[in-house]
Amino acid sequence: MITELQSAISNAPNRKAKLRRLSKVEAVKIKVERAALLFRGAPVAICVSAINGLITAAVAWSSVDRSVLIMWTGAILALAIVRLGFWLHYRFKSPSGRNLANFARLHVVAMALNGAMWGALAPIFAIHGILGNGFLPFVITGTTAAAIVSAGASWRAVLAFTIPALVPLATVYALFGGASGAAIAGVVVFFALATAYLAVTTQKMIDRSILLRTKNDRLFKALRKQVDEAHEAEQRFRALVESSQDVTIIFSPEGKVTYASPSVKKSLGGEIGDMIGLTTKEVVHPDDMPVFRAVGEQALSKLGEVMTLSHVCMRNRGGDYVELSGRLTNMLYVPGVEGFVFNGGVIEPTHGAHKHAAE
């Protein structure tokens, strides 16, 4: 158990760990989880693009040729419908890694087409002489930010939208934006670079989180396996002890009985519960106490070693002593036991009298 836990813990990535030299299983796990995140975020990106398209059409309705604006808005909405159709198609298919990977590839292509459509707004605004309207950079950069939020699991998906959306915008403003065009173009370029950096770092953070969760799952499985095995071993041990004819008694470090096997009832008489809580002075014959203590002291210094008790008399329910022979084992540091374990059997008395260990 310790080896498995140490292996799982040592393989856990730290905050500064680089995602290199991953095993094939880890690489596939990260790829599939990343594709699953893209899949879950796709509806957000689709809805944001469609809503922003309608808002843009409403704002530019009186300033742009309406036929051009209708064509552009129709293309944005048509692409959104197609993307939503692809999403629904994979939504009802089996959630396999291959299907998620296929969707991720289509999603990146769709993000690139969507970015190109938004980038086409820049020359449209330039032709109609409304580049001075600050709404255009605002809506495109806002849509780009939404792309980061919805597709941050893949820097390729983010850049697939960002590059075709922002490059035309920066170029048009630099060439036709007048006195403030160069400044606006510079801001757009800076925003594009910041977006690229954020996309790469976001994916790395997500990859580390996925890998760490994978390691945690492995550690949890190792722990659960060991707990199950320990529980099964405990059940087997308890079954063996309770079916054995030998007497098994566990004494706490303070000398109190914490467990008595069912065979105690037959050998010593009385109910098992009657013994729980009794001290060694109440159970062991006074003449045998020095030897019992001496053996206990030897067991205390030798963890797990079995110390022999040739004869020891223990009191039964009726007050009579029964002669036993057995072993005393120090299991103070064994979880679930944490005491001295006496295990032995009844010795038939000779000539009607019990022989004490002290004799």
Residue 108 falls inside a structural domain: yes
Residue 270 inside a domain? The answer is yes
Q: Which residues contact 227 (CB under 8 A, 6 or more apart)?
A: none
| 356 in any annotated domain | no
Contact between 315 and 285 (Cβ < 8 Å): yes
pLDDT given for residue 234 in this prediction = 65
- Asked whether residue 217 falls in the same domain as residue 249, the answer is no
- Higher per-residue confidence, 349 vs 5: 349
| Gap between the Cα atoms of 291 and 286, Å rounded | 10
Among 316, 311, 275, which Cα is nearest to 295's? 311
In a domain, 186, yes or no: yes
Does 68 share its domain with 210? yes
Question: Is position 357 within any domain?
Answer: no
CA atoms within 13 A on the CB side of 180: 5
The whole-model pTM stands at 0.58
145 and 213 assigned to the same domain: yes
Q: Domain boundary residue among 177, 207, 222?
A: 222
User: Does one domain contain both 61 and 162?
Assistant: yes
Secondary structure in 3-state letters for the chain: CHHHHHHHHHCCCCCCCCCCCCCHHHHHHHHHHHHHHHHHHHHHHHHHHHHHHHHHHHHCCCCCCHHHHHHHHHHHHHHHHHHHHHHHHHHCCCCCHHHHHHHHHHHHHHHHHHHHHHHCHHHHHHHCCCCCCCHHHHHHHHHHHHHHHHHCCCHHHHHHHHHHHHHHHHHHHHHHCHHHHHHHHHHHHHHHHHHHHHHHHHHHHHHHHHHHHHHHHHHHHHHHHHHHHHHHHHHHHHHHHHHCCCEEEEECCCCEEEEECCHHHHHHCCCHHHHCCCEHHHHECHHHHHHHHHHHHHHHHCCCCEEEEEEEEEECCCCCEEEEEEEEEEECCCCCCCEEEEEEEECCCECCECCCCCC
Q: What is the pLDDT of residues 25-84, one digit of tens each?
A: 777 778 888 888 889 888 988 998 899 899 889 988 988 899 999 999 999 999 999 999
Residues 211 and 289 in one domain: no
Q: CA 120 to CA 123: how far, in whole Å?
A: 6
Count of CB atoms within 10 A of residue 217's CB? 12
Task: Based on the fold, state whether residues 46 and 176 are members of the same structural domain.
Answer: yes
Q: Is pLDDT at 353 greater than 70 in this prediction?
A: no
pLDDT tens column, 272-326: 777 888 888 888 888 888 888 888 777 776 666 677 888 888 876 666 788 888 8
* 250 vs 146, higher pLDDT: 250
Please give the tally of structural domains in the chain.
2
- Structural domain for 281, as ranges: 245-346
* 79 vs 271: which has the higher pLDDT: 79
Instruction: Answer yes or no: do 183 and 298 share one domain.
Output: no
Position 86 in a domain: yes
Per-residue pLDDT for 21 more than 70?
Answer: no
Q: Are residues 27 and 112 in the same domain?
A: yes
End-to-end CA distance of the chain: 47
CB atoms within 10 A of CB 194: 11
Cβ atoms of residues 211 and 26 within 8 Å: yes
Joined together, the tokens standing for residue 271 give 């109910």
**Of 354, 351, 348, residue with least CA distance to 312:** 354
Identify the pLDDT of residue 74. Answer: 95
- pLDDT score, position 72: 94
Q: Is 184 domain-assigned?
A: yes
pLDDT tens figures, 201-248: 888 888 888 888 777 777 878 878 877 776 676 676 666 656 567 888
User: What pLDDT, in 10s, does the model give residues 86-103?
Assistant: 999 988 887 788 888 888
- Which of the pair, 52 or 359, is modelled with greater confidence? 52
Question: Within this chain, do residues 56 and 145 fall inside the same structural domain, yes or no?
Answer: yes
The CATH number covering residue 311 comes to 3.30.450.20
Q: How far is CA 182 from the centre of its chain?
A: 49
Q: Is the pLDDT of residue 340 over 90?
A: no
Among 118, 113, 108, which Cα is nearest to 53's?
A: 118
| Same-domain pairing of 318 and 190 | no
Residue 122 lies in a domain: yes
pLDDT the model gives residue 178 = 78
Residue 111 sits in the same domain as residue 211: yes
CB atoms within 10 A of CB 299: 21
Both tokens of 129, joined, read 């002489």
If asked whether residues 296 and 334 sit together in one domain, one would say: yes
CA distance 280 to 35: 66
249 has a pLDDT exceeding 90: no
